[in-house]
Structure 1
Amino acid sequence: MEMKQIIQTQETENGPVRLPVDSETHTYDDWTISYTKSHILKSVCVNDNACVRDDPSCCELCVYNFALELPHLPDMVFHKNILTVCHRGGARLEFNPIDALKQVRNEKLDLKVACSDEWKESRPAADTQEKVKPFDWSFTTEYKGTIGGGIRVDATDQKIDMFKLMKREPIYFYHDLTLFEDELHDHGISVLSVKVRVMPSGFYILLRFFLRVDHVLIRINDTRFHYEKGNDYILREYTHREAKVEQLKHVPPALFTNPNEIAEQLPVIRKVTEKLTILAEDDAMEGSS
């Protein structure tokens, strides 16, 4: 089995020390798993608001604004934080913030809380030129990853074996990326993150959207991906959990800020499992033609 990880180190008196990097690549059998990361998206157009849609010189902020057409972006968008999983045969999965934000509803939010008015008032005038235009200020997304060519998606009754994932194994590769985050004007948090873990038996990815509106609601949208060595498919399991805070009186409030702990206390609203079959190269080419 071929495994290759590219990292940077610096020699010191105590031996090599790993340096912070903006990208890494790990090879596991027929798979290449890589990520890039960088600073947050600038909040001001670098071209004095003169950017034109589809123009090569359009700044990164305006690329997002043109693509999403939301009245406002999250406080922190990590536009270069991208995780990719590629198969030798051409199959590709990607996790990026712009595709996730494309699934935020650009319509009136059902959730009515006092902080929504404060949120609007806290935004600069430039951000609220169309503030009468309603949108989901919680940035809730049901993003399940971006599927490229070479993959067929089918419904399945198979389930991800969480007990198998809890088995102790060496970790060949691990990383955690934040895709976007907003503190809802100090009334909670909305954050989307993705984690990847590679073990001898395969790899596991958790894409998690966590929303906490203080004193009102907690919501978690989890999408899990599990590939087991030797299979020609990946299982993808999407779970939507949610509860109003008044339904969680039996839960210590200290847990409200910990997604891992509070997830177990939230009822499952919807759960969907799919099989992502890795197509042979000939089938993938035929499907794309």
Structure 2
Amino acid sequence: MYTFETPISTSSCSSSTTTISQQSTSDHYFLAEAMSAAVAVPQHKLSETPNSRTIEINDWVITASTNPISSASECDALQASLGFPLPEMTFGSNYLSLDHQPSGWKMVFDTHNALKCVKKGELGEGDGGVKVGYADAWLKSRTDPGTSLPLPVTVAAKHYDWTYTAIYPGHHSDTAAEVESPTHPIPWRDADSENPSHSIPLAELTRPDPILFYAEIPLFEDELHDNGSSNLLVRISKRVMPTCVFILSRFTLRVDNVLFRTHDTRIYHSFTSTPPLVIRQLSGWEAPYDRIKRRLPSRNDMTPLTDANFIAKVLTELPVAESQQSGAGTRWRGLRTKVEVALLARDLP
């Protein structure tokens, strides 16, 4: 285990002052802003095992565990628990945990609880059910009055969402993922849109501060029987920085010739917030396949359509009326943006 600490050097400060006095007024303001933006690296501890990394910083213990794809026996046990077939690549032992030690508040992202959010049973209104691109044409070819093609023997439809769409916001370590308990000691509350501290400060996240901790944690991925791709990836980044922690959990769905869908869970905490405040933003978008395809930089290069970042960028740039209202016509309940906050102090009302 290692401890990192960056002291403030008084000699460097005096040197900077001398330099500033020799600059023009505009340069003076520029350097002053640069100095004010500089952030000292707080004391923190990093520890590692072959399959996990942990950082302890400002009352937080954050652990990222990445492991190989689950074994056959592990998959059998998980599938028996869930009651439906698993994605082709299931990382059943992967997780990310955030533990705020003074309050006892703990948030976890893991594969088992993410897959619990996949709809089991017949899909209904709001579930965003999707058919493969050739389904309608295939059915029409067998039901058209002039066709001689026989209807096949029918079988029961799959009793789960074959796209593995998951609106997974993470879960508290003592509650199930699909149930956000209102009786949890520190519940999530709707953010106040008039309160600047209840929104994620994008300017801070794009500032070139040191990155103290980073991990990408795949939870599952499936190629949907060669009809597209479905995957869920948690990133502890975009970073743990000297001033904050930011997490992005992104589900991405591509059903070829049908639609693209993205659901993001963003979690942000500023180490300077008093009392400690965690912000959670849940956002979902979707659009018809061709709508995204038309935004390709080159019509001869289809590879961006397999890039989750490109898909998310295009979806979020579309008008809200398209990407979060009409979507791809599925009426998926995930089409929204919702911001919540949790105050990590048990004695608050």
Name the TM-score class by shorter chain.
Answer: 0.7 to 0.9
* 1:92–1:150 CA contact under 8 A, matched in 2: no
Q: Residue 85 of structure 1 aligns with which residue?
A: 98
Residue 152 of structure 1 aligns to a residue whose secondary structure is coil
Superposed displacement of residue 33, structure 1? 0.5
Q: Residue 5 of structure 1 aligns with which residue?
A: 46
Q: Residue 234 of structure 1 aligns with which residue?
A: 278
Distance 2:67 2:277 in 1: 31
Higher mean Cα deviation, 207-216 or 159-168?
Answer: 159-168
Structure 1 residue aligned with 2:211, among 156, 160, 171?
171
Instruction: Provide TM-score, normalisation by structure 2.
Output: 0.65
Superposed displacement of residue 114, structure 1? 5.1
Residue 248 of structure 1 aligns to a residue whose secondary structure is helix
Q: Residue 135 of structure 1 aligns with which residue?
A: 160
Summarize deviations over 1:126-150 as a string: whole Å, max 9, x none: xxxx964432100000000012465
Instruction: Provide TM-score, normalisation by structure 1.
Output: 0.77
Structure 2 residue aligned with 1:261, among 288, 310, 319?
310
Summarize deviations over 1:159-180 as a string: whole Å, max 9, x none: 2122221111000010000001
* 2:82–2:116 CA contact under 8 A, matched in 1: yes
| Superposition misfits of 4+ residues, deviation over 6 angstroms | none
Equivalent residues in 2 for 1:1-289 (5 A)?
Answer: 1-7=42-48, 21-43=50-72, 45=73, 60-70=74-84, 72-89=85-102, 90-109=104-123, 110-113=129-132, 132-148=157-173, 151-156=186-191, 157=193, 158-196=198-236, 197-231=239-273, 232-252=276-296, 253-266=302-315, 267-268=323-324, 269-280=335-346, 283=347
Superposed displacement of residue 188, structure 1? 1.4
Superposed displacement of residue 40, structure 1? 1.4
Higher mean Cα deviation, 263-272 or 214-223?
Answer: 263-272
Structure 1 pair 115–190 and aligned structure 2 pair: CA distance change class (3 A): farther
Distance 2:52 2:293 in 1: 43
Residue 265 of structure 1 aligns to a residue whose secondary structure is helix
* 2:188–2:340 CA contact under 8 A, matched in 1: yes
Structure 1 pair 147–102 and aligned structure 2 pair: CA distance change class (3 A): same
Residue 309 of structure 2 aligns to a residue whose secondary structure is helix
Residue 151 of structure 1 aligns to a residue whose secondary structure is coil
Unaligned runs of 5+ residues in structure 1 are: 9-20, 46-59, 117-129
Unaligned runs of 5+ residues in structure 2 are: 1-41, 124-128, 136-154, 174-183, 297-301, 316-322, 325-334
Structure 1 pair 260–108 and aligned structure 2 pair: CA distance change class (3 A): same
Structure 1 pair 135–94 and aligned structure 2 pair: CA distance change class (3 A): same
Distance 2:254 2:286 in 1: 10
Distance 1:24 1:131 in 2: 45
Residue 188 of structure 2 aligns to a residue whose secondary structure is strand
Structure 1 pair 182–115 and aligned structure 2 pair: CA distance change class (3 A): farther
Residue 40 of structure 1 aligns to a residue whose secondary structure is coil
Higher strand share goes to which structure?
1
Superposed displacement of residue 190, structure 1? 0.6
Structure 1 pair 88–237 and aligned structure 2 pair: CA distance change class (3 A): same
What percentage of residue pairs aligned between the two structures are identical? Answer: 33
Higher helix share goes to which structure?
2
Summarize deviations over 1:70-90 as a string: whole Å, max 9, x none: 1x1101110111111101121
CA RMSD of superposed structures (Å) = 2.4
Kindly name which structure, 1 or 2, has the bigger radius of gyration based on alpha carbons: 2
Distance 2:156 2:46 in 1: 47
* 1:155–1:274 CA contact under 8 A, matched in 2: yes
Summarize deviations over 1:204-262 as a string: whole Å, max 9, x none: 00000011111211100000011111221110001101001132353114432222122
Distance 1:38 1:202 in 2: 26
Residue type of the alignment partner of 2:190: A
